[in-house]
């Protein structure tokens, strides 16, 4: 073939002769696709490399297997990259309701034979399984009673840890009172009503036993009939398994690769060392949707904050981008309204953010200083410890978070700050003095006059709880175990004597003031068989035990409250009996100070941002779901954040304008005396029941502690 054959044929008009191309469906499809892609490009949709070709971003065909880097897109170049909270929701935050059937023994003739019912059948099977002789005769005894056991297994509990248990008599029971009873060991498990199958039991999560705490039983029998039919066993439940948190990927992001990347990001920030010294991440991917999350030891007593920090962890960020973002967050930290979120974001970065948090400790606004100090404390830096101590002492809205943060610091200066909080605050109240209204040590150095004593039971006990959590062997608060029934602590503290009793988590008595004594004359009772008496002006107290069929026993001790407690227990008194004795002594003004019960700092309080009551903005700090578990409260399964309502809030600790959150009227100085000279109870507060729905019990009375209503009447 010559070259002329390669040349195109000439057209008569001088143009090349073009061969006609037939129109095919394939060519039309290509042209249509090109037009569509051009249109999307003009609209700014862009293209996305999905790994299988180039596709329009707006189509989002690969959303289920999207990676964090792909999903973030151009966000990673911004100062606020996508965070873990954009891809996951966290469950396992609520209580698990456990139920069972148990037997209360040791009653003083107030028990009875239970009527035929599924409860009786279940209890008989349990008794027979334990090889107890004559089970039916045991149920017929007037010293025993069948009870329904209910407990709420808290989140993040470890195997072997304790929690509270509730007991009550079933409807129609012949038993009349649980006063003085002991709950025999009973299994509690999840239960569900299955149509056609009835009530089915699940795995046994825990076992419960212990002394039943109810009202002291004084007053009209008709009034107390409902009170003495139910009670609580503080710390009576022992968990048989660990509870961890579960991180669930949102449906559009589900994939094995995504779960691994999120677990890697969380594990890089939070990790622990096993007993062999090997570093282990605290996030472990299980499936394409779930990640099991363990709690870092630093946040063991404040897991709500742990979850807030995890949600702030950036998904994709190199060192340069992190440095730029920390610089920008430093500027945002100076703004009061952004200080909380910004401090959490810096805390999520880790120890590298410490130099960027410290300058905020010198900010003019106290709220900025507080949030920076809190973040530093959880990064194990004590630079803001003084700010946290000041917040606990003077700012009631910040107190619960300040004490929780101080309890995480392990250095000696922070320990000394907590010890100082155990003592009441002395304030100068001299008119015209330059120190008026300010705290002083003893007499004012200017006017040489004694100051006004400002005492808060919740601050003193809150500081005690923080110290106990930090170091149980601290010589300032070290206690003694009294017959394995409860713990007795004697704390050296100035000011008005204070006796604190607990009915949550663990049985405990704290005496603030090491030389507290009972006033005479005295005639009180501990349980059904122990009496404490003393003549007027006598330095001694006689403790007697009378019981049918046994010889009387008498002991004589000093009027020191600690000595009376120890001797009464030696004669057979239980923890509920000791509470009854102390409350009776308080009502009869035989106690010089006050008695407080479960007086702990609370969330949801109002403070004035940017000034005082006249110039500042009323703001509510936190909610019930953001309460550090260092200070537990009564919860039910229907409360927000429970097992029935998991992860109901992505960020539970919120700063709300006044009127949008619960405001609780909690007087700062509950130790003031009444007009007649008798001390008032710290728990007698004018709190609106409708303002705290999350603290209500499951019983029909709707009260937080229904069996204490008569006790404080």
**Mean pLDDT value of segment 34-47:** 50
- Positive or negative CA dihedral for 431, 436, 441, 446? negative
What is this structure's pTM? 0.74
CA 557, 563, 568, 571 dihedral sign is negative
> Measured between alpha carbons, how far is 518 from 558 in angstroms, rounded to an integer?
9
For β-strands 230-239 and 198-211, DSSP reports them as antiparallel
Note if the bond before 521 is cis, omega within 30 degrees: yes
Phi, psi of 96 (to 5 degrees): -100, 120
Mean pLDDT within 44-66 = 42
Q: Strand pairing of 452-454 and 479-482?
A: unpaired
E-strand ranges in 527-593 read: 530-534, 540-547, 550-558
Tell me how far apart the alpha carbons of residues 470 and 410 are, in angstroms, rounded to a whole number.
7
Q: Name the token pair of 194.
A: 């299955």
The Cα-based distances of 329 to 486, 555, 578 in angstroms read 48, 67, 54
CA distances to 79, 158, 221, 283, 568 from 317, rounded to whole Å, are 10, 34, 69, 19, 64
Query: What's the pLDDT at 452?
Result: 65
Q: Is the pLDDT of residue 80 over 50?
A: no
Predicted pLDDT of residue 578: 92
pLDDT exceeds 50 at position 54: no
**What tokens were used for 23?**
């129109």
pLDDT in tens, 601-644: 888 888 888 777 777 788 888 777 788 888 875 443 333 333 33
d(CA 223, CA 710): 8
- Residue 244's pLDDT is 84
Q: What is the pLDDT of residue 224?
A: 52
With tokens 């009375």, the residue in question is: 701
pLDDT at 659: 38
Q: What residue segments make up the domains of the chain, in order of their start? A: 37-83, 96-239, 319-470, 479-597
Round to whole Å and give the CA distance between 220 and 596.
25
CATH of domain 319-470: 1.25.10
What confidence score (pLDDT) does residue 21 get?
46
Q: Taking each helix axis as running N to C, give the angle between helix 412-421 and helix 385-394, from 0 to 180 degrees, rounded to the nearest 10.
A: 10
Distance CA 528, CA 648 (A): 47
Report the SS3 class of residue 643: coil
Assess whether pLDDT exceeds 70 at residue 563: yes
Over the stretch 107-126, which tens digit does the pLDDT of each residue have?
888 888 888 888 888 888 88
Percent of the chain with pLDDT over 70: 72
Element at 453 (helix H, strand E): strand 452-454
pLDDT at residue 566, rounded to an integer: 94
Report helix, strand or coil for 54: strand
Mean per-residue pLDDT, 478-498: 88
- Rounded-to-integer distance, Cα 71 and Cα 258, Å: 11
- Listing DSSP states for 279-345 in one string gives EEESEEE-SSSEEEEPPPGGGTT-HHHHHHHHHT-BSS--HHHHHHHHHHHHHHHTSGGGHHHHHHH
Which pLDDT score, from 0 to 100, does residue 388 have? Answer: 95
Q: Tokens 């509950």 correspond to what residue?
A: 670
Confidence of residue 28 (pLDDT cuts 50, 70, 90): low
**Nearest 5°: phi and psi at 544?**
-125, 145
Q: From its phi and psi, is residue 572 left (phi > 0), alpha (psi between -120 and 50) or beta?
A: left
- Whole-angstrom distance, CA of residue 435 vs CA of residue 445: 9
**Distance from C-alpha of 586 to C-alpha of 501, rounded to nearest angstrom:** 13
Which helix or strand (DSSP H or E) is residue 153 part of? strand 145-153
Measured CA to CA, the distance from residue 647 to residue 650 in angstroms comes to 7
pLDDT in tens, 210-232: 888 886 444 444 445 557 788 88
565-582 average pLDDT score: 91
Determine the straight-line distance between the first and last CA of the chain, rounded to whole angstroms: 119
Q: With beta carbons less than 8 A apart as the criterion, state whether 145 and 167 touch.
A: no
DSSP β-bridge partners for residue 334? none
Cβ 435 vs Cβ 444: under 8 Å: yes
- pLDDT at position 376 is 96
* Nearest CA among 203, 292, 201, 210 for reference residue 240: 203
Q: Half-sphere exposure of 129 toward its Cβ, with a 13 Å CA cutoff?
A: 9
DSSP 351: G
Task: Say whether 659 sits in a helix, a strand or coil.
Answer: coil
Average pLDDT, the chain: 77
pLDDT tens digits for range 135-158: 888 888 888 999 999 988 888 888
Angle between helices 385-394 and 396-406 (to 10 degrees): 140
d(CA 277, CA 83): 30
Separation CA 531–CA 695 (nearest Å): 35
Give the pLDDT mean for 443-469.
Answer: 80
Distance (Å, rounded) from C-alpha 484 to C-alpha 575?
10
Backbone angles phi, psi at 418, to 5 degrees: -65, -35
d(CA 509, CA 568) in angstroms, rounded, equals 14
Residues 6+ apart with CB under 8 A from 412: none
Quote the CA–CA distance of 577 and 584 in Å, as a whole number: 11
| 320: its two tokens | 């340069």
Which residue has 């004018």 as its token pair?
A: 686
């Amino acid at each position: 073939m010559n070259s002329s054959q390669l040349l195109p044929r000439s057209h008569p008009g001088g143009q090349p002769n073009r061969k006609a191309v037939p129109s095919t469906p394939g060519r039309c499809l290509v042209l249509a696709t090109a037009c569509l892609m051009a249109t999307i490009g003009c609209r700014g949709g862009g293209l996305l490399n999905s790994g299988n070709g180039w596709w329009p971003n707006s189509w989002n065909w690969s959303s289920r297997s999207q990676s964090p880097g792909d999903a973030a897109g151009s966000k990673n170049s911004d100062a606020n990259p996508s965070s873990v909270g954009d891809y996951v929701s966290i469950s396992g935050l609520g209580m698990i309701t456990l139920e069972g059937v148990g037997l209360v023994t040791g009653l003083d003739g107030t028990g009875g034979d239970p009527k035929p019912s599924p409860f009786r059948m279940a209890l008989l099977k349990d008794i027979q399984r334990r090889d107890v002789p004559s089970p039916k005769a045991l149920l017929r005894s007037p010293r025993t009673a069948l009870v329904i056991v209910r407990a709420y297994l808290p989140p993040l509990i470890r195997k072997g840890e304790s929690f509270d248990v509730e007991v009550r008599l079933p409807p129609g029971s012949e038993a009349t009172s649980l006063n003085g009873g002991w709950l025999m060991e009973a299994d509690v498990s999840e239960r569900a009503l299955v149509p056609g199958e009835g009530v089915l039991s699940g795995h046994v999560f825990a076992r419960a036993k212990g002394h039943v705490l109810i009202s002291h039983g004084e007053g009209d029998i008709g009034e107390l009939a409902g009170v003495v039919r139910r009670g609580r066993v503080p710390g009576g439940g022992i968990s048989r398994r660990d509870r961890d948190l579960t991180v669930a990927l949102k449906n559009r992001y589900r994939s094995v690769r995504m779960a691994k990347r999120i677990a890697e990001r969380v594990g890089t920030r939070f990790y622990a060392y096993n007993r062999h010294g090997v570093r282990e991440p605290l996030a472990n991917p299980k499936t394409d949707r779930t990640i099991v999350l363990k709690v870092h030891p630093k946040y063991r007593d404040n897991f709500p904050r742990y979850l807030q920090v995890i949600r702030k962890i950036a998904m994709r960020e190199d060192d340069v981008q992190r440095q730029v973002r920390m610089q920008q967050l430093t500027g945002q930290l100076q703004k009061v309204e952004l200080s909380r979120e910004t401090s959490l974001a810096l805390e999520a970065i880790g120890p590298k953010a410490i130099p960027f948090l410290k300058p905020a400790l010198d900010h003019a606004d106290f709220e900025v200083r507080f949030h920076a100090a809190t973040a530093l404390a959880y990064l194990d830096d004590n630079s803001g410890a003084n700010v946290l101590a000041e917040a606990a002492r003077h700012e009631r809205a910040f107190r619960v978070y300040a004490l929780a943060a101080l309890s995480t610091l392990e250095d000696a200066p922070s320990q000394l700050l907590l010890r100082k909080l155990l003592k009441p605050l002395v304030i100068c109240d001299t008119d015209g003095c330059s120190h008026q209204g300010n705290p002083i040590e003893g007499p004012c150095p200017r006017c040489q006059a004694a100051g006004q004593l400002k005492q808060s039971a919740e601050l003193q006990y809150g500081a005690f709880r923080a110290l106990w959590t930090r170091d149980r062997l601290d010589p300032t608060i070290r206690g003694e175990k009294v017959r394995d029934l409860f713990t007795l602590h004697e704390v050296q503290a100035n000011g008005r004597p204070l006796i604190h009793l607990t009915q949550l988590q663990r049985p405990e008595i704290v005496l603030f003031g090491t030389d507290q004594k009972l006033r005479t004359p005295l005639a009180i009772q501990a349980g059904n068989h122990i009496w404490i008496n003393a003549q007027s002006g006598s330095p001694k107290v006689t403790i007697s035990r009378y019981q049918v069929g046994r010889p009387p026993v008498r002991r004589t001790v000093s009027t020191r409250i600690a000595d009376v407690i120890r001797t009464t227990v030696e004669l057979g008194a239980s923890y509920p009996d000791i509470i009854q004795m102390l409350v009776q002594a308080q009502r009869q003004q035989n106690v010089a100070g006050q008695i407080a019960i479960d007086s702990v700092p609370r969330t949801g309080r109002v403070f004035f941002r940017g000034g005082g009551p006249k110039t500042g903005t009323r703001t509510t700090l936190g909610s019930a779901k953001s309460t550090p578990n260092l200070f537990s409260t009564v919860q039910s399964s229907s409360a927000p954040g429970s097992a029935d309502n998991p992860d109901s809030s992505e960020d539970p600790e919120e700063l709300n304008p006044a009127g949008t959150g619960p405001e609780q009227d909690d007087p700062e100085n509950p130790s003031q005396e009444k007009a007649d000279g008798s001390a008032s109870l710290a728990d007698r507060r004018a709190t609106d029941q409708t303002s705290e729905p999350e603290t209500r019990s499951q019983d029909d009375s709707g009260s937080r502690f229904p069996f204490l209503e008569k006790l404080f009447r």
